[in-house]
Amino acid sequence: MGITRDSKMIDKALIENSFEQAAETLGDITPLVYEQFFAQFPEAEELFNIKGPQFNADLKNKMVSDALYTFMEYLDTPEEVEIVFKYTIPQHVDLNIPMKYFTGLLSAVAQVVCDTTPDQDKAATSASWSALLAKFDALVVKYSTE
Ligand code: HEM
C-alpha cells in the first residue's frame, strides 16, 4: 500500500528502554508522578479520597500501576488496552472524575518515565512517548463520549 505518511511512529524499543531506565534510576516512580500531577492539578488531591481516606494511598498506587500496565500492554497488544479503556473510562466518568485528570495522570507517568532517558536518546524517546500519549488521548475521547 505504499509508504505510510504517519510520521508519529511509536518506537517500542525506545519506550521499553525508558521503562527500564526509570526502574533502575527511580525504583518506584509513584511519588514523582504525584508530585508532578498535583503541581499541575492541586485540586485533584481530594479525588483520591473517593473510596474513603483510608484507601487514598492504595488508590494512588493502583492508578499509577494501571497506567504503567496499559502503556506496556499497548506496545504488544493495543486491542487489549481498548478493552480495558472501554470499561474503565465510563467507570471514571460515572465516578465524576473529570477526564482531564485521567489524561493528566497518564501524562505525568509518561513524563516521569521519559525524563529518565539518557540525553543521547532523549529526543527520539520523547517523540515516541508523544505519539503513544496521542493514541491514549484518542482512546479517552472515544470512550468518554460514546
Ligand atoms: C486522577 C486520576 C484518577 C483517579 C482519581 C482514579 C480513580 C479511580 C477509582 C476511584 C476507581 C474505582 C476503584 C474501585 O472501585 O475499587 C478506579 C478504577 C480504575 N482505574 Fe482509575 N483513576 C484515575 C486515573 C486512572 C488512569 C490514568 C488509569 C489508567 C489506566 C486508571 C485505571 C483504572 C482501572 C483499570 C480501574 C479499574 C480497576 C479495578 O476495578 O480494579 N485510572 N480509578
Q: Whole domain around residue 120: which residue ranges? A: 23-145
Q: Which of 43, 63, 112 to mutate to test the pocket of ligand 1 (most atoms within 8 A of CB)?
A: 63
Spatial neighbors of 57 by CB under 8 A, at least 6 apart, are: none
List CB contacts of 95: < 8 A, sequence separation 6 or more: 50
Contact residues of ligand 1, CB 6 A cut-off: 44, 47-48, 50-51, 59, 63, 66-67, 70, 84, 88, 91-92, 95, 97, 101-102, 105-106
Per-residue pLDDT tens for 61-112? 999 999 999 999 999 999 999 999 999 999 999 999 999 999 999 999 999 9
CA separation (Å) from 115 to 1, 79, 109, 111, 112? 36, 27, 10, 6, 5
Question: Is 9 inside a domain boundary?
Answer: no
In a domain, residue 29? The reply is yes
Number of domains in the chain: 1
pTM: 0.93
In a domain, 6, yes or no: no
The tens digit of pLDDT for each residue in 2-46 reads: 444 445 689 999 999 999 999 999 999 999 999 999 999 999 999
Residue 113 covered by a domain? yes
